[in-house]
Structure 1
Amino acid sequence: MSRQEPESGDDSKQGGIQVIARAAAIMRTLSEHPQGLSLAAIAQAVRLPRSTVQRIVCALEAEYLVEALGPSGGFRLGAALGQLVHQTQTDIISLVRPYLECLSNRLQESVALSKRAGEKIHVLDRIVAERDLRVVFPIGAFAPMHSTSAGKVLLAGLSDDEVRELLPDPLPLMTRHTRDLPALLAELAEIRKSGFTFDHEECSEGISGGSVSLDTYLGRYAISVVLPAARAARHIEAIREALLACKRDIERAIGRAACRR
């Protein structure tokens, strides 16, 4: 009988990476089914043999990252996972800031992270561009949802009925460019398709901005590029591409729907 050769360092490393990737796929699948799934259902979802899934699930169960549902069979995510998330992934600002810095450096414009606060937008963090003509705004600032690109991408996550219930009619006129409610609802329909919007001096004269929504397990936010209106029109496509790329990078790392294959 010939003696089996030990695994090389590279083979062992690749095997370890494959196991981690498979375990991550199983955990993502279980995150989408909080009621739990059987081993057969997990195997079908991740396209792996049932025996492979069983070995990985047993290892995850030993670390309390997955737990059995009891006599009914099946598995769901375990309590240890929630503890890890609570201890290490609770601050959206520190998680997103490196991406905001990259976005600002790429475009040489000011960028912001915002969330909804009633019928207003609340600025949680911002990076101010290092250039002569730039937009500077304070952290903690509030602005109307209906007249800002950040507010509009978050409103697009609501139904039209919810928007009508949330916002006054008529909408407050912030500038001569501010949209009325019918025009806003039409724009929201377009945002739901494209995932991006731009405001042209709708909140403040001389200031424009583009935004995308950010969907994470910590909630729904908006990331925005804010710049002088004088140079906005010729850069809309570059801003759109940069924002969508930034959104993909962040949601791949921390989004609820990240890394699906």
Structure 2
Amino acid sequence: MSDAKEKIDDDSRSGGIQVIARASAVMRTLGSHPKGLTLAAIAQHVGLARSTVQRIVAALETEQMVEAIRPGNGFRLGPALAQLIHQTHTDIISIARKSLESLSEKVGESVTLSCISGRQNIIIDRVVAERDLRVVIPMGQSMPMHATSDGKALLSTLTNDQVREWLGSSLDKLTETTLDLRHLLTQLDEIRISGFATAHQEYSVGVSACSILVPTFMGPHAVTVVAPTARFDTQVAEFKAALEECKATISHSAGAE
């Protein structure tokens, strides 16, 4: 092979790697901002020109890896990513599905199954409550770990030093009750002892949740009951008892060695 041909091949490989790296940076940024970002905001986060980001996002949108929220309101991770995650965790989902359905029926609320993907917690399965006032969490939704009960449950599997490394020193203040890092670390110490994590309107006003950590052969997962805060406050003890039962049934078939 000639030197010129080798250089062309090397340049082509380098260009391909750069495109993948840039697309990955865009997707990681959107994963850290589940409510979506504009093209300008994405460009600022990844340090690329807006025109470059626009081309990358357009290509990812074609593959449904990202999607437009509404015209002019930015972009978020798309349904194809949720499908890939779902396929990866098919074994756990099939094992846990009946337990999730039983849990939802027992407590009368929506429930979710989530895991860590990258440095985010991802909803890989859900059962939506059959009632008028309910909470619906989108499948494949990437949620901020510091402001959600399942995120906290999953973070409790890390050391506090690892949590600091993952989240940084400044956490996004999503509501008035979102915890700062100091209070989050204190709560994680309590979660490691109790086995339960709660989030009281920390991600969305009017919505609260309770989670339990479930070690499985595919790593830690979290099962969550999510409800309107008005009902949650009066039923949290019932939710915790039902989550314990759900964990036991899932662990029987999918528990870690």
Short-chain TM bin: 0.5 to 0.7
CA deviations over 1:148-181 (Å, ceiling 9, x no partner): 0000001011001110111021111111100000
Deviation at 1:118, TM superposition (A): 2.8
Deviation at 1:138, TM superposition (A): 1.4
Please say if residues 119 and 144 of structure 1, whose CA atoms lie closer than 8 Å, have aligned partners that are also in contact: no
Deviation at 1:119, TM superposition (A): 3.0
Where does the alignment leave 5 or more consecutive residues of structure 2 unmatched? 1-88
Please say if residues 214 and 251 of structure 1, whose CA atoms lie closer than 8 Å, have aligned partners that are also in contact: yes
The separation in 2 between residues aligned to 1:90 and 1:204, in whole angstroms, is: 29
Q: Which residue does 1:117 correspond to in 2?
A: 117
Deviation at 1:90, TM superposition (A): 6.0
The separation in 1 between residues aligned to 2:228 and 2:91, in whole angstroms, is: 30
Does residue 134 (structure 1) correspond to residue 134 (structure 2)? The answer is: yes
Q: Which residue does 2:208 correspond to in 1?
A: 208
- Structure-1-length-normalised TM-score: 0.63
Q: Which residue does 2:226 correspond to in 1?
A: 226
> What number of residue pairs does the alignment pair up?
169
Cα 1:114/1:90, change in 2 over 3 Å: closer
Matches within 5 A, 1:53-202: 91-202=91-202
In structure 2, what residue type is equivalent to 1:113? Answer: L
In structure 2, what residue type is equivalent to 1:149? Answer: S
In structure 2, what residue type is equivalent to 1:167? Answer: L
Please say if residues 113 and 223 of structure 1, whose CA atoms lie closer than 8 Å, have aligned partners that are also in contact: yes
SS in 1 for 2:103: helix
- Structure-2-length-normalised TM-score: 0.64
CA deviations over 1:109-131 (Å, ceiling 9, x no partner): 00000111233211101000001
The separation in 2 between residues aligned to 1:212 and 1:149, in whole angstroms, is: 8
SS in 1 for 2:186: helix
Larger gyration radius, structure 1 or structure 2: 1
Does residue 238 (structure 1) correspond to residue 238 (structure 2)? The answer is: yes
Q: Which residue does 1:15 correspond to in 2?
A: none
The separation in 2 between residues aligned to 1:220 and 1:119, in whole angstroms, is: 13
In structure 2, what residue type is equivalent to 1:244? Answer: E
Please say if residues 115 and 123 of structure 1, whose CA atoms lie closer than 8 Å, have aligned partners that are also in contact: yes
CA deviations over 1:204-252 (Å, ceiling 9, x no partner): 1111000011101121111100111111111110011111111112112
The separation in 2 between residues aligned to 1:175 and 1:118, in whole angstroms, is: 24
Q: Which residue does 1:256 correspond to in 2?
A: 256
Deviation at 1:142, TM superposition (A): 1.1
More helix by share: 2
In structure 2, what residue type is equivalent to 1:239? Answer: F
The separation in 2 between residues aligned to 1:254 and 1:124, in whole angstroms, is: 16
The separation in 1 between residues aligned to 2:99 and 2:201, in whole angstroms, is: 26
- What's the RMSD between the two structures over aligned residues? 1.3
Q: Which has the higher contact order (CA 8 A, sep 6+)?
A: 2
Deviation at 1:253, TM superposition (A): 2.1
The separation in 2 between residues aligned to 1:225 and 1:137, in whole angstroms, is: 11
Please say if residues 212 and 244 of structure 2, whose CA atoms lie closer than 8 Å, have aligned partners that are also in contact: yes
In structure 2, what residue type is equivalent to 1:122? Answer: I
Where does the alignment leave 5 or more consecutive residues of structure 1 unmatched? 1-88
SS in 2 for 1:250: helix
In structure 2, what residue type is equivalent to 1:94? Answer: S
In structure 2, what residue type is equivalent to 1:217? Answer: F
Please say if residues 90 and 218 of structure 1, whose CA atoms lie closer than 8 Å, have aligned partners that are also in contact: no
